[in-house]
Every structure is written in structure tokens, then in C-alpha cells.
Structure 1
């Protein structure tokens, strides 16, 4: 298709509201302004573009390195009607300059396949056979343009390492711990959604999901607003003398989310620092970018926190799913169906 190209900046709701995008191509940065208050996910920006009437979506990376980003923008039933592509920071900067100087039109042509594939989930269990359980999770799929070392090979490595560490003290667990890696996270959290649809969620004490981890030695824990859920992580950090950044806001873009949306206490454990994906979702997401010392620094407090959650009283209780919807509305999160 050929249509006028419009620079929508960082793709905040205000920028989309100010832009005339009807029948045009929306050029949007992967960055989020520091003063916005939370990270805006790619899918949110794509949905904003559709709502504004855009005919196409160009997602420009703000990370240098000639790395066009990829990422799912499809619906639960497959590809959406508005095509989208990723372009590198360098190419994106050229397009921004052209947009500033003149009315610019572009031709967007997408050559890709959307085929039905099969995926699967993997699980193992430690501890006693109890009605309750703690889930420690990650996703093992990645985009096929790189190794997916940080997103999410690092998360899977941590799940295995936590299982290895807790196996040495298995008799200390009061409830069972199930270690799971999900498939098809990168195309709509399909593996975890499938599990949630078939699992007895009332048996799940809490979910500890590892994603976007390994980029630094400091730990960030997104607790999704559950009262009491930060406590095990803060106790682990205090006892070990390491920092932990508790982030109470909703984080609806990884495999803990299908559980959280059903009211199950769940966290996403990630690296603290920038909310940028960095090398993730690009050709640069390779093993040489990871430092095993970062993973070791994350594994120890996470193991201590999981042990804490799996012993004694539950740190948090299930909530009505309607409360999650209310939290999302208060935070300005637009949740997909």
C-alpha cells in the first residue's frame, strides 16, 4: 500500500490524539517518555494506531545498532487487518527527518507467512503432594531472528537453576513447587493461557514468572498490586544484603498475566534498570550479551523468596478478577480481550 507517512513520536495517547492518521502510515518509536509513568508496550501503540484509523504501522527501534525490532501484533484468532513492520533506529531517524521537512508518502509491502504451528509447555515438580502449589515459570519460545538469549533463554535458565537449588532443601517445602516453561508466549501468551484454561487455579498459591531478566545484577519484581506479595522478596533481599525494586503496578505482558487476570497472586521477576528491551526482539539477542554473574545475582534472592512463599502462610490472597480490571482502569491500562 502507498499512503502518507506521519511521525507519531513515542506513541503516547496524547500524541495519537493529536495526529491525523486516517488512511495513513503511523511511524512510532519503541521508546516511552520518562515522565509518562509507565512503559507503553508495542501492542498498545499498535492498537492506538488502529483506533486512529491508520492504514499501516511502522515501529522504529530507539536502540542503536541497525536492528529492526520484531514482535507480535496479532489477535487471538491470527493476523490483524492493519500491516505492521519494525525498522531500525537509523532508518527510523531518516524517516523522521523526512516527515519534518515535507509531506511524505511511503509504500509499505509486507512479505511474510502466517502458518498454524504446534507448541507445548514443560513442567516438573518438587516438594510434597499438597493441594496448594507455587508456580515458577518462564517462556521457552523466542523470535526466530536470533537465539533469544535474554528473551527468554535467561528466564528458562533461572527456572532450572531455582529447581536445582530448591532440590537440596526439598524437605523444607510446606507446599509443592511446580516449575514450568511455556511455549508461544511471543504470540499472545498462548502457552500460559492454555494452562490457565485447564488448571485448578484455586490450588495456585502464587506465580513467580521470570522474564526480561539477566540485563543487570539488580532485581525488579512487578507485584501487580497484590497486598503482601512484595514481602517474601523484600525479606530475601534484606537477609542477603542485595537490592530489590518492588514495582506494584500491573505488568500485563508476560506469562504471569493470564493468572493475575483471573485473580491469582503473581509477580514478574526482571532485571532492574531501564524498561528498554535492549537487544530483545532483535538480531542482537544472542548469548554473548549475557553475563552469568547477573543470573547468579538474581537466582539467589529468587530462590530465597520462592522458599519463603512455599513455607508458612500464603503471602497474598486471591482477588476477584473484577478487581484486576479496576486496577487496570485506574492505571490507564487498556487490556485486550
Structure 2
């Protein structure tokens, strides 16, 4: 009995020592990032000196060069570029729309063409507008849609506390809306922006055409203008003029930029952490996803700064082409499968640089329980929840190809869709301390996974 008690005390003592050691190590990580971090400075360079990074644009390659330099300066053992073919869509000029009022001055509408959409042609399109509040209503009005502009006015559900739930609920109107309307002969589509912001900034984002139906022009409208147009259509018929210039060019080449620290004990076991380097063209892509890129680079810099030598190989990947093709993430997973690499964990930051709240994961219950056992170590830095459901678009292919356990940083989401894919996603909208606390949480989790495995 005494032997069992002594053994139990030893186990408790050892566990307590390990937790104390980990607590001190994570405190060192936090101190380094909060006092000497480079994430905010790196983000300033990426947003102000490179700017918007639409796939295939000249800024794509400026961003790749920036990423290589930033990873080298962070202390990566090696930095490589991984090429992939990517779509090359261009906006082609200023998007225009207005409510046509016979005998009066037209009322302009603030719009942005949807990514990957076709243009109207140089003369634009002028046609009556049909208000549609849901796909069910589209079906009810299908006989009236030929030659018309369909206006999807599906609103974000403000009762969802997690705003990504509202986005998932509404985003089908951006993704499938144009083809659904084209099926019934519509000439073009306007959509209410995927946002619950109080301003009038339109939010772009990609659409996906169904090859069974004609490709028609599609654009997003600011919320104030959407409300104004909807109120008018509830009272009387209205005509809208729409001009967009979008065009899809032949695929071009872009690159995943990869920096890594080679593992000291298990170099063949790979931990991936990253964000996507591309952004939409109206703004600087500060939250989406410059923040995720600079937070990921901090993983290498901070671990090097505190003198930690990872057991496993840690790769930071700045992914190409998340926004309108996901070619970078797909290429990374494809090459990992071809090379028979052993990927034990992947973490992504692609939900903005706001205050960290938790991690969403895609993994077994046993693995989730292990991560949850680390909450006492992570909670001092804002992480209060680790739950099923999460990862990231870029690392999703790793799960599908290799079954790799995934996690995604989940910052506070209340302001994210105010700026998502809009001109307001600029450096000035990022809070330095919130950005750094997100980096602290990511580096801490990578440290724990590296030390203890899954």
C-alpha cells in the first residue's frame, strides 16, 4: 500500500513539474512575442509595401519575395518555394451600378464584381430587377426571370452568436446564386454582401459557375444600398444598370512559400502551421489573411528566440491561392502524399487578427481530449475553448489526403465580417496586441504538440 502511494505521489509530482516547466516555457514565448515580436511590423510591410495580393497579380510575386525574406529573418533552417498552377482572374476596371430613374438622375449603387465572374461587356447591362429573398423564392419566381437582373437579398442571421455560422448560412447565394439564376434565363445577378456591417462597403468573394448553365455577370452590393434597393422594389418595379469587367485569363504559376525548422529527434514527423498569402484586390488583406501569415512566421521566430529545439520538423507555409481556387493547399497535400510524408498535425490562422478565444479541431476524440488537457496552460493567454469543428481551407486537403489532425485558431469573430473581402480590410483595422496574443496562442500550441505529440 505504501509503495502504491509513493508511486502515485511520484506521478503527481512529475506531472506537476512538467506542467510548471511548460508554463514557464509558454510564459517565455509570450514575453518574447509581446516585447520583441515582429508580427505587427511584418504585417505593416506586407500590407503597405506589397498591398492587395489577388492571385496572378504582380503583387503575388512581391508577396512571395516578402515571405521568403521574412522566414529567413525569422531563423528558418531552410526556405523553399513550391510551385502550383493557379487561376488568374482580373477585375479589369471599375465596377459600376445604378438605379435607373426615368427623367431623373440615376442613383449609384456601391458594388464589387464577384471573383471569377464574367463581365457585362463594355456597354453594360440595363434590365428590370427581380427581388429574391431566398432560393425558395427564386423557384417561385422562375417564370419571370428571363432577361432580368436577380437581386438576392438574403440577410446574415444576426441571432447567430458565432458569426461564421451566419456566413456559412448565407454564402451559398454568392457561390451558387449566379448559376441558379442563369438556369432560368437571368441576365445578371446582384447579391447582398456577406456581412452584417453598419457601413455600405461591398464585400467581394468568389463565385462558382455550374457548367450546365450560361455564365452571367455577378456583383455584391453594400448593405445600405441593398436595403435601399429592396425597399424601392417592395413598392414599385425598378431597373438597374450594371457594368463589370471581370475576365478569367489562362492559369499561371504561383508558389507556396515554406520555411522550416528541422526536428532534432523525429525529423520525419511534420507539423504544419500557416495562413494564405493571397487576398482580394479591393483592400490590403490585413485580417484576411495577412494576420495569419505573420502569426505563423512568429512560430519559427519565437521558438528560435527562446532557444527551443523542436523534436519534430515544424513547417510554416504561406499558402498560394486560397481565395479563388485553393490550389496552394491542394498542391501542398498532393506533394505530401506523393512523397509519403508523415504529417502529424496542422494548424491554420485564417479568421482574422482579433483576440484569440479558442481552437476548432478536426481529429479523434482522444486527440481532442489531449489538447483540452492543455487548456490550463493556454487559458492565461485567452484560449478558453477547444472543440470539434475547425481547421482551415488550406490545411483541409491534408486531412482529406492523409488524415492529418487539424486545428484552426478561433479569434473573437464579431468584427470579422465587417471587413471580410471589403475595402476596409486594411492594416489600420488590426490591433497590435490582439494580433500578438493570437501568435502567442499558436506558438504555445505548436510547442505542446511538438513536445508531447498527439
TM-score bucket (shorter structure):
0.7 to 0.9
**Matching residue of 2:419:** 279
Structure 2: how far apart are the matches of 1:72 and 1:130? Answer: 38
Residue 151 of structure 1 corresponds to 288
Q: Deviations over 1:187-219 (max 9, x none)?
A: 12121112222223651111101112212x233
The structure carrying a bigger strand percent of its residues is: 2
CA pair 36-173 structure 1, distance change in 2 beyond 3 A = closer
Q: How many residues align?
A: 309
Residue in structure 2 matched with residue 328 of structure 1 by the alignment: none
State the Cα deviation string for residues 49-78 of structure 1 (Å, max 9, x = none). Answer: 23463633322233233311111114699x
The equivalent residue for 2:325 is: 188
Is the Cα–Cα contact under 8 Å of residues 31 and 276 in structure 1 kept in the other structure?
A: no
1:93-242 to 2 correspondence within 5 Å?
93-116=227-250, 117-128=252-263, 130-168=267-305, 171-200=308-337, 203-215=342-354, 217-224=355-362, 226-231=364-369, 234-240=372-378, 241=380, 242=382
**Separation (CA, whole Å) in 1 of partners of 2:284 and 2:202:** 15
Distance 1:230 1:218 in 2: 18
User: What corresponds to 1:60 in structure 2?
Assistant: 192
2:159 to 1, 26, 34: 34
Q: For the Cα contact (< 8 Å) 1:130–1:175, is it kept in 2?
A: yes
TM-score by length of 2: 0.60
Q: Quote the offset at 1:33 in angstroms.
A: 4.8
SS in 2 for 1:100: helix
- Deviation at residue 40 of structure 1 after TM alignment: 3.8
- What does residue 324 of structure 1 align with? none
Corresponding residue SS for 1:121 = strand
Taking structure 1 as the reference length, what is the TM-score of the superposition? 0.79
The alpha-carbon distance between structure 1 residues 311 and 76, as it changes in their structure 2 partners (threshold 3 A), is farther
SS in 1 for 2:330: helix
Q: Where does residue 116 of structure 2 map in the other structure?
A: none
1:84 aligns with 2:218: yes
Q: Unaligned regions of 5+ residues in structure 1, if any?
A: 315-337
Find the structure with the greater CA-based Rg. Answer: 2
More helix by share: 2
